[in-house]
């Protein structure tokens, strides 16, 4: 038997609660059973847990888009009992049962070994947010945005992706400008590596098709007017990595930055990202993170706190990463 956060829907009755399940309760999908140590709470998890958006595709569902743990049983040739593993995305918590449970059953083709220099806690303190941030950094590098190119803007700086994007960029030698709606958190953002803090209101309102060139690159997890304004103020030949929609899914922009300044808008998908790119991202993360980054960017909660914290997350009251110890009440 194991505990899981369990979402069910009967008509209009949408419920999410802790439930004790039998070991044979898993859907048939998957060839590796993992004893989960840690999962996380992300924006998408918050939507699923609260029912605020139709994220969940089938019911019942165990939310949690990522987890780390130890292999309990395996029918996959690449993974053996006792091996430390992690997973991000692949539709967990949406189409397939996810990581907010003490056990999970997934295809081995979706699993990664935990980097030897990182603990199971470390990889979830980093989690999908940190992994997504690294995909964004890699996209900027691929499109020629290097430390000497100029400042890089990070929007949604107080979120999980934003915090790790700041930390990774700073470690790599970039000048980082952080956009946030909570200027009172400036000290924390400076500690992560931001050299300048700007108010998100300067980007979140309708703006001009082209604005003054300010950023060599942008990592945006906000979308809507913020993304449009970020593109409008990106330098000639710069790149913008878009990975989120905290402000909205719309993109009220013009083609001007792309055809007059040669700006590149790069979409970042962490869910179905190819395995070779995932390996590369986690290898780069393992070479950059340290205990200070992890301590500054994360906090731990137990399973009984998840629903309440998910509501606070959607209300914009949670800063940084939330790690869930699935074996703690």
What's the Rg (C-alpha) of the chain?
20
Question: pTM of the predicted model, to two decimals?
Answer: 0.89
Residues 108 and 135 in one domain: no
pLDDT value of position 31:
94
Distance CA 100, CA 286 (A): 24
- Same domain (yes/no): 100, 229: no
What's the CATH number where 141 sits?
3.40.50.720
The pLDDT of residue 123 is 94
Regions of the chain short of the pLDDT cut 50 = none
Residues 105 and 141 in one domain: no
Of 247, 267, 287, the residue at which a domain comes to its end is 267
Shared domain check, 139 and 51? no
Same domain, 208 and 316: no
Look at residue 318 in the predicted model and tell me its pLDDT. Answer: 81
Query: What integer pLDDT is reported at residue 186 of this predicted model?
Result: 87
- Inside any domain, residue 272: no
Domain that holds residue 260: 126-267
Contact 32, 133 (CB under 8 A): no
In this predicted structure, what is the pLDDT of residue 297? 66
Exposed / middle / buried, residue 113 (Cβ in 10 Å: 0-12, 13-18, 19+):
middle
Asked whether residue 284 is assigned to any structural domain, the reply reads no
Contacts of 167 (CB under 8 A, 6+ apart): 192, 193, 288, 289, 293, 296, 297
Chain segment 266-279, per-residue pLDDT in tens: 999 999 999 999 99
Tally of domains within the chain = 2
Q: Is 283 domain-assigned?
A: no
Does residue 199 sit in the same domain as residue 252? yes
């Amino acid at each position: 038997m194991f505990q899981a956060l369990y979402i069910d829907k009967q008509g209009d009755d949408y419920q999410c609660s802790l439930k004790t399940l039998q070991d044979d309760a898993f859907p048939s999908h998957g060839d590796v059973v993992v004893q989960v140590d840690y999962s996380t709470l992300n924006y998408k998890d918050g939507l699923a847990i609260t029912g605020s958006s139709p994220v969940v595709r089938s019911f019942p569902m165990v939310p949690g888009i990522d987890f780390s743990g130890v292999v309990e049983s395996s029918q996959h040739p690449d993974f053996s009992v006792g091996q430390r593993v992690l997973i991000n995305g692949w539709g967990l918590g949406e189409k397939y049962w996810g990581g907010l449970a003490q056990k999970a059953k997934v295809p081995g083709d979706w699993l990664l070994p935990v980097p030897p220099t990182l603990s199971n806690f470390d990889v979830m303190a980093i989690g999908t947010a940190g992994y997504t941030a690294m995909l964004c950094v890699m996209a900027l590098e691929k499109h020629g945005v290097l430390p000497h190119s100029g400042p890089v803007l990070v929007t949604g700086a107080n979120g999980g992706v934003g915090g790790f994007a700041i930390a990774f960029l700073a470690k790599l030698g970039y000048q980082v400008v952080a956009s946030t709606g909570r200027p009172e958190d400036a000290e924390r953002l400076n500690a992560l590596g931001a050299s300048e803090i700007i108010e998100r209101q300067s980007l979140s309102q309708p703006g001009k098709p082209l604005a003054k060139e300010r950023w060599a690159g942008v990592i945006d997890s906000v979308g809507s007017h913020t993304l449009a304004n970020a593109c409008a103020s990106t330098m000639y030949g710069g790149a913008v990595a878009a990975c989120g929609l905290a402000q909205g899914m719309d993109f009220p922009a013009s083609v001007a930055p792309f055809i007059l300044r040669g700006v590149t808008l790069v979409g970042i998908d962490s869910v179905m990202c190819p395995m070779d790119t995932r390996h590369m991202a986690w290898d780069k993360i393992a070479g950059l993170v340290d205990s200070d980054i992890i301590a500054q960017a994360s906090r731990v909660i137990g399973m009984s706190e998840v629903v309440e914290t998910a509501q606070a997350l959607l209300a914009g009251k949670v800063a940084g990463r939330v790690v869930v110890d699935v074996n703690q009440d």
